[in-house]
Structures are given as structure tokens and as C-alpha cells.
Structure 1
Amino acid sequence: MYNWVSIVGHPAFSIVPRSPGTWAQGHWDLCSSQFLLAVGAKTARRAFEFGRTYVVRPKGKHQATVVWLHGLGDNGSSWSQLLETLPLPNIKWICPTAPTQPISVFGGFPSTAWFDVGDLSEDSPDDLEGLDAAAAHVANLLSTEPADIKLGVGGFSMGAATALYSGTCFTLGKYGNGNPYPANLSAVVGLSGWLPCAKTLPNNLEGVEEAARRCSSLPILLCHGKGDDVVLYKFGEKSSRSLNSSGFRDVTFKSYNGLGHYTIPEEMDEVCAWITSKLGLEGSSS
């Protein structure tokens, strides 16, 4: 068993200030200066200033790199500390911090967020510009990894939504704005999240042979608590059904009785076993 972080819940509505201070041993700052990203030179209207990125180095042979995305109001530090405790010595974890921006669900109050959101569900209007910026940031973080390293993306709550959006960009081969998507993803994990752009995904994939091939082979793990009162359980279920109906053939959906909007050891055990299997990792133990 691994040592569990004392506070495993990451409430979507908590406001966690970004701190310029130190971080846990074993983590280092990937981007010492803040990263500015404009999405699509012809169409960009907003500049996205991403916060500090934390990296957990693999304790064994480096076989995979996974970008893990926090929820609304959180930061990369808290998840990096949790991920460091997992029995996955062959994974390098990259935990970025989202830009601080005005959020509609907070009445315009600024918070760390990967994109703007009116409510936390797939029924919320999609902020395509913000989603594209977040997905591009993920791809940028993965762009310098060695060619023989398997790449993945995962997240919690809004981070899960961003991870799933990155997965759809990979299958389509492009962002929502039409620019090419460069990363080659081998796995996507979403905890307590939802699927953005679910209503338009089937039409976007229709008739695209390469996209259909990627859909059928990309492994996706979705986990959701039945007691989640922030991102309701029904949205997790709907996301799984939407992916299946759009042609994704390797989707695993796990539910947890009584689990609210946080994570527990049982859920993270599932993540560890699934990632170990899907990425073909060696030397992992529970």
C-alpha cells in the first residue's frame, strides 16, 4: 500500500491561491517563468497565463509521461504530492497550474481554471478558445518527451474535462480551431469529470477514417462517485455513453457508491492498475 495524502478531496469550488513559494521534495518547476499562450494567431482573443508546473520524476525506468490536470480553483502542487505516493515508478508526472481567469460560475470572480464554465457539466456552453488553449498547453508539455516514451493525460473534475477534450483533439488530429494537434496520446484518465463538446463530437468524427482508427484504439478510464453533488454522477455516465456512441471502443467506466467530489484510495488503486495494464508498464506493484 502507498502512503495516502491526508486530504484527498479537491473540491471544485475551493479557491486555492497560487503560491510562489517552495514545493515538495522530489518535484521541480518545469516553467520557472509563466507561460503565455495565444491559440491560433488569426483567431486568438485571449492570452492565457499558465501558472507553476510541478514534475514528479520516475523512481524507476522511465516508460511513460502523464500530464495530470487539477480541478477548478486548485493548482498543480496538491496533485503532484498525491501522485508521488502512487506505486507507479515508471511514470513521470507533469502537473501544471491553470491560468487565473474570470469564471462565469463564480459571477466573474477570478480563479485557476483551464477554461471558462457556466456550470460543471457537459450541458454547459463550451469555451472552445479556453479548451484549445488548455489542450495546446498539454501538448506543449509533452512535446519534449523522448520518442520511445508513452504519453498520457488525466485529470480531476475540470481537469478531467480538459483531459477528455485533449483526447478528442488527438483522435480528430486537430484542435477545435482547426490547428493540427501534435501529441500522440496512449491513454486518457478522467475522475469526476465530463466530456466537453459531446453534442458535436459524433459529427466531427463522421467519415474521418484516421479519426475512427484512433477512436477505436485510445484507452479511456472514467471514474465517478455516485454521491458527487458538484459534477453529478449522471454527467459521468452520459460522457461514457457519448464516447461509446462516437466510436471509442476502449472506454472503462467505474462508479463508486457514496463517493462525493473527491478521490479515495480505492479509486486511485483502479487508476494504477488500469494505467499499468494499458501502458504496459514494468516494475509496478501495489
Structure 2
Amino acid sequence: MTLSYGKIFAGSTNVPAQQGDQRVTIVWLHDKDGHFFFFFLGCSVNFVKSLKLKNVRWICPPVVYRNTSYDFGSNIKQDDREAIDSAAKLVAGFLLAEPLNVVKGVGGFGMGAVVALQFATNCALGHYPLSPRVVVGINGWLSIAGYIQSSIESTVGAVARAAQQKILFSRPTDDRILPYTSEKEVVDSLNEAGFGEVYFLPLSRLEPIVPDTPSVTSLVKLWLTLNLPISEYSAQ
């Protein structure tokens, strides 16, 4: 079985209307699918709107993964890893353009979660001159789980940068369709690498991991409000 994900597709970035003054910027990434690009972009936008959070500038870029593949049970190919790194660099570009006094964050579903976790790791390794305060990965995995600890321990300043980041990770514990890294391997790797907080919420495989699932929406909203200077607004 092969999972297609890969190249970055350039297109329009959607920035939903902001509620209240801007205190936080979060880049939110949708899941992979080259054929239903506008559908998945719409899902990412609809999801962040459904959170009803004030003081957040949401950036929903049209990142689509295609033309390369990952074979289950084998190592990630170099060009696939480079595609994930390229998407993470795109996230960095968005956040570096934001005001310095604004708190930064990143999150996503599926392959968007993979990029979010890769971005967090790259920030810890000093690839970009910033560190997100919050990282959300729903139904994703960590592409470098096998050697993230050694990479951070051998990089000057990486331990301190990793400690500044808080990570929310959620995935079905009985879902073996996803690549070889289990949820325990991802969480253990992030903890051992010294990230400030890694909160894992196991979900049942019977519970759909989609943006409009009430439990997923409630989880992300609660976790973000606990860790950021933001609040919820009432629907008009």
C-alpha cells in the first residue's frame, strides 16, 4: 500500500476574518489530497472558524502533497523528507512575516500534522529564527521519530528551543493504516527530545478524525485557550 503526499502546490492562501485584537498567529494545514484541493482548503478554513477563538490570526495555506510516495513499512525516501521540509519552510515564511510581539503556532490534520511536527523539530534544530509556542498534530506522525533525540542533543541550543514548545498530539490508538511510527513512538520521541509539554489524547478508530468532529474541535479549543492569551467569542 502506498501513501501519496509530496510536492507543494502554490495557490491562494486563505486568512479568515479575525475576531478581536491580534495576539496570536497560527498556521493551520489541511490533510493531503491533490484531487480535492479546494475541498480540503475549505475544511481547514471551516475548522478554524468553528473554534470561535478571539485574538487569533489564522493562516490557511494551500499546501497539497502529491507526486511522491511513502511505502508502508519502509524508510522514508530522501525526496519525500525534502518535500516535508519544504512545506515546513513555507510555514516558517508565513510566521516570520508576522509581528514580533505576536505569539506563533502551527497545527494541522493528517499530512498537515506531519508538517506541523516537522516544523516544530526544525525550529528546535535552529533551521528558522523562531519557535512556535503551540503545535497541534491531529492524526499525523513524526517523520524523524527514530533520531530526533540525538539530533537535538547534538545541536547547540536545540534543547532550550525544544523546551519552549508545547505539543498537542492526537491519534487513534488502534489505527495501523498510518505509517510505521506508532503514537507511543511519536510521544516518547518528543518527550525524550525535551519538548516542553507533549499532551497525547488517544482516540478510538471508530471516532472519525475530521474537522467537524465535536470532540476534536472541543479538544483543540480547550488546549489552545489554556496555553495562549486568547478567548472564545459568542456566535452572532
Task: Verify same fold: TM over 0.5.
Answer: yes
- Give deviations 1:32-59, integer Å, cap 9, x for gaps: xxxxxxxxxxxxxx98542331111221
Q: Deviations along 1:75-105, whole A, 9 cap, x unmatched? A: 322210221121212211111112464132x
In the TM superposition, 1:177-192 aligns within 5 A as: 181-192=128-139
Question: Counterparts of 1:141 and 1:122 in 2: how far apart (Å)?
Answer: 32
1:204 aligns with 2:151: yes
Alignment of 1:125-204 (within 5 A): 125=77, 127-174=80-127, 181-204=128-151
Distance 1:14 1:101 in 2: 6
User: 1:183: how far off?
Assistant: 3.3
Number of equivalences:
225
Quote the residue 2:187 is aligned against: 240
**Secondary structure in structure 2 of the residue aligned to 1:92:** strand
Unaligned 5+ residue runs, structure 1? Answer: 1-12, 16-45, 105-116, 175-180
Query: Are residues 1:265 and 2:225 paired?
Result: no
Give the aligned residue type for 1:143: L
1:185 is paired with a residue whose SS is coil
Deviations for 1:154-191, whole angstroms, at most 9, x for unmatched residues?
Answer: 011111010000000111111xxxxxx13331110000
Of 53, 73, 97 in structure 2, the residue corresponding to residue 88 of structure 1 is 53
> How far off is 1:140 after superposition?
1.1
Question: Which fold has the larger relative contact order, with Cα–Cα distance below 8 Å and residues 6 or more apart in sequence?
Answer: 2
Name 2:163's counterpart in structure 1. 216
Equivalent of 1:68 in 13, 18, 28: 28
Equivalent residue, structure 2, for 1:24: none
Residue 103 of structure 1 is matched in structure 2 by 68
> Larger Rg: 1 or 2?
1
* Partner SS, residue 71 of structure 2: coil
| CA spacing shift, 1:76–1:267, aligned 2, 3 Å | same
TM-score (norm 2): 0.83
Give the letter aligned to residue 87 of structure 1: K
Post-superposition Cα deviations, 1:223-244, rounded to whole Å, max 9, x if no partner, equal: 1123545427972232111111
Distance in 2, matches of 1:162 and 1:47, equals 12
Provide the secondary structure at the position in 2 that maps to 1:168.
Answer: helix
Q: Larger % of helix: which? A: 2
The amino acid of 1:53's aligned partner reads T
For structure 1, which segment, 205-214 or 182-191, has the greater mean C-alpha deviation from structure 2 after superposition? 205-214
TM-score computed with the length of structure 1 as normaliser: 0.70
